[in-house]
Amino acid sequence: MLFKRYPKINYTFQDDKTIEVVDIFRKISISQSTLTNFNFFDTIIVSNGDTPEQVSRNLYDSEQFSPFILMTNQIINPNRDWATEFTTFNTELSNTYSGTALFTYKMQNAKVNDIVVKTDSIGRNLVTSVWGRVEEDYDKVLRKTLVKQISGTFAENDYFIILRKDGNKFQLVSDTPGGRLVRVESELSLPYKFYDQYGNTINPYRIVNRSTQTLTDLVADSDTEITTNLPYTDTTTLYNTVLFLYITSSAILSGAKIKVVSINDFENKRNEKNQTVKVPKRSFINTLFTLYDQSLLLDRVDRSTFVDVKV
């Protein structure tokens, strides 16, 4: 609807052919001083499934003002930043984060499209009914291998080997198992971030004093392997880190008042936040529309301007 109101310009292509086109690169924004003026805007809670067009129709009896609702909330991509109906949102979430994370103490050499296959502890007998395709290179930060297209079920204490395609066949990345699985987690349940009791983000390599169940200022080296039963002052192992406590589901994590916010928690919170929407007041919408039209016609080199209401 709004593009029909945009001015036209002459655009010359590489073959020197010039045609008249709509100047879609003009950018009109509402100034912060106007956005923060409560005289012009209200806040509403969007019902599940309501689109910007439906909200516009409900508020102003017309869908033509929906772009101004997006503009007021500084939303460029409504497919991501507009609240989605709960059931639809969670279905999309499950489809997006459909992998399974395999945690091991031992660092892995897994790369995208490798195949992870369950085996015995010495790598001699493959369990070909349990395998998965590696979705992304090994995550060194969280010490996990993310697999999708899974056949069968991986479980804690399973061993696995990694196969990599070489021409028309797969070769062993290593002759020995890639390590014992110490945790198997759905991708949606993976940590988005770790937080302390004050809401501060925590580095997963921060060290915890197990005796007092408190965070220390020490940080372990992310390149080290995990060796157990070492004092918390030793930063050459991951044994006393937030990450290790998470991987092993240790109660010390909650004892130290460390909160794990999962991807699922974060995404649902973001969608819930998106349901609170700022909208132009009905008495202001026509004025905003007029100011927008006037701004479109301004002759500016950068073709970018603000709708700014002075009061």
Are residue 79 and residue 140 in the same domain, yes or no? Answer: no
Per-residue confidence (pLDDT) for residue 196, from 0 to 100:
96
Alpha-carbon distance of 198 to 158, in angstroms, equals 37
In a domain, 155, yes or no: yes
Q: Which of 19-28, 176-185, 254-263 has the lowest mean pLDDT?
A: 19-28
| 3 has pLDDT over 70 | no
Give the residue from 86, 84, 3 showing the smallest Cα distance to 51: 84
Are residue 183 and residue 104 in the same domain, yes or no? Answer: yes
In a domain, 65, yes or no: yes
| 31 has pLDDT over 50 | yes
300 band by pLDDT with thresholds 50, 70 and 90:
low
Are residue 202 and residue 144 in the same domain, yes or no? Answer: no
Domain boundary among 136, 162, 189: 189
The mean predicted confidence, pLDDT, of the chain is 86
Alpha-carbon distance of 40 to 291, in angstroms, equals 13
Q: Average the pLDDT over 76-88 and give the result.
A: 82
Strands 304-307 and 27-30, bridge-based pairing: parallel
Per-residue confidence (pLDDT) for residue 197, from 0 to 100:
93
90 band by pLDDT with thresholds 50, 70 and 90:
confident
Are residue 185 and residue 196 in the same domain, yes or no? Answer: no
Per-residue confidence (pLDDT) for residue 7, from 0 to 100:
65
In a domain, 46, yes or no: yes
For residue 30, give both structure tokens: 């509402």
Are residue 108 and residue 185 in the same domain, yes or no? Answer: yes
Q: Determine contact, residues 201/194, Cβ cutoff 8 Å.
A: yes
Per-residue confidence (pLDDT) for residue 282, from 0 to 100:
94
Torsion over CA of 204, 210, 214 and 220, rounded to 10 degrees? -30
pLDDT digits (tens, 9 = 90+) for 162-186: 999 988 888 888 766 667 899 999 9
Per-residue confidence (pLDDT) for residue 229, from 0 to 100:
73
Residue 182 belongs to a domain with what CATH number? Answer: 2.40.30
Are residue 255 and residue 196 in the same domain, yes or no? Answer: yes
| 224 has pLDDT over 90 | no
In a domain, 205, yes or no: yes
pLDDT digits (tens, 9 = 90+) for 91-131: 889 999 999 999 988 888 899 999 999 998 887 788 999 99
Per-residue confidence (pLDDT) for residue 79, from 0 to 100:
81
Buried b (16+ CB within 10 A) or exposed e, 55-87: bbbebbeebebbbbbbbbbebeebeeebbbeee
Instruction: Classify 212 as helix, strand or coil.
Output: coil
Question: Which among 7-11, 175-179, 230-234, 277-281 has the top mean pLDDT?
Answer: 277-281
How many domains does one find in the chain? 3
Are residue 73 and residue 106 in the same domain, yes or no? Answer: no
The residue range of the domain holding 174 is 96-189
Domain boundary among 165, 189, 213: 189
Are residue 172 and residue 115 in the same domain, yes or no? Answer: yes
In a domain, 88, yes or no: no
Alpha-carbon distance of 208 to 252, in angstroms, equals 9
Q: Which of 12-21, 52-61, 144-153, 257-266 has the lowest mean pLDDT?
A: 12-21
Torsion over CA of 255, 263, 181 and 118, rounded to 10 degrees? 160
Domain boundary among 172, 189, 206: 189
pTM: 0.72
Are residue 100 and residue 167 in the same domain, yes or no? Answer: yes
Are residue 185 and residue 195 in the same domain, yes or no? Answer: no
In a domain, 166, yes or no: yes
Per-residue confidence (pLDDT) for residue 261, from 0 to 100:
97
Alpha-carbon distance of 204 to 242, in angstroms, equals 5
**3-class SS shares of the chain: helix, strand, coil, % to 5:** 25, 30, 40
Residue with the larger pLDDT of the pair 18 and 5: 18
Q: Which of 10-19, 111-120, 150-159 has the lowest mean pLDDT?
A: 10-19
Per-residue confidence (pLDDT) for residue 311, from 0 to 100:
41
Residue 164, strand partner residues: 171
Are residue 61 and residue 134 in the same domain, yes or no? Answer: no
Residue with the larger pLDDT of the pair 307 and 295: 295
In a domain, 105, yes or no: yes
In a domain, 91, yes or no: no
Are residue 196 and residue 281 in the same domain, yes or no? Answer: no
| 194 has pLDDT over 90 | yes
